[in-house]
């Protein structure tokens, strides 16, 4: 699992801002070795424009192709190694089994 800490905007990694958000262990408050770029207002605008620009083409796709796209996202989640589950468990203090069920789509995020 590679965590870049950058934002993903319009198919590109972006980290223009100087501010960083640090990752912490939820139970010990120990700082974890991950930090994430705080999006700048320009990056937020760019992300919103990219999403608005992409949506009409996505909307025109047949339902079968949209389903394939969503299945591809699910496949990427399935391919995540145990490092991801471990990290989410540390950051949220949720039990690993619960995080795994969220990743597997067997538990609604509303149930958190």
In angstroms, the CA 84 to CA 3 distance is 10
State mean pLDDT over 101-112: 70
pLDDT tens digit sequence for 58-79: 999 999 999 999 989 888 877 8
Contact of 11 with 46, CB cutoff 8 Å: no
In terms of pTM, does the model score above 0.85?
no
pLDDT tens digit sequence for 26-68: 999 999 999 999 999 999 999 999 999 999 999 999 999 999 9
> 74 and 110 share a domain?
yes
Percent of the chain clearing pLDDT 90 (strictly above): 71
Percent of the chain clearing pLDDT 70 (strictly above): 93
Beta bridge partners of 7: 14
- Number of domains present in the structure of the chain: 2
> 48 and 68 share a domain?
no
Give the residue numbers spanning the domain of 26. Answer: 1-60
> 79 and 67 share a domain?
yes
């Amino acid at each position: 699992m590679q965590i870049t800490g950058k934002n993903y905007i319009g198919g590109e990694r972006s980290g223009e801002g100087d501010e960083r958000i640090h990752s912490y262990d939820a139970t010990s408050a120990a700082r974890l070795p991950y930090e994430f770029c705080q999006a700048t207002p320009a990056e937020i605008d760019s992300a919103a424009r990219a999403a608005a620009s992409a949506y009409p083409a996505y909307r025109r796709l047949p339902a079968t192709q949209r389903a394939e796209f969503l299945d591809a996202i699910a496949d990427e989640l399935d391919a995540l190694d145990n490092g991801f589950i471990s990290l989410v468990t540390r950051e949220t203090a949720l039990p690993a089994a619960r995080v795994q069920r969220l990743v597997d789509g067997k538990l609604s995020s509303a149930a958190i």
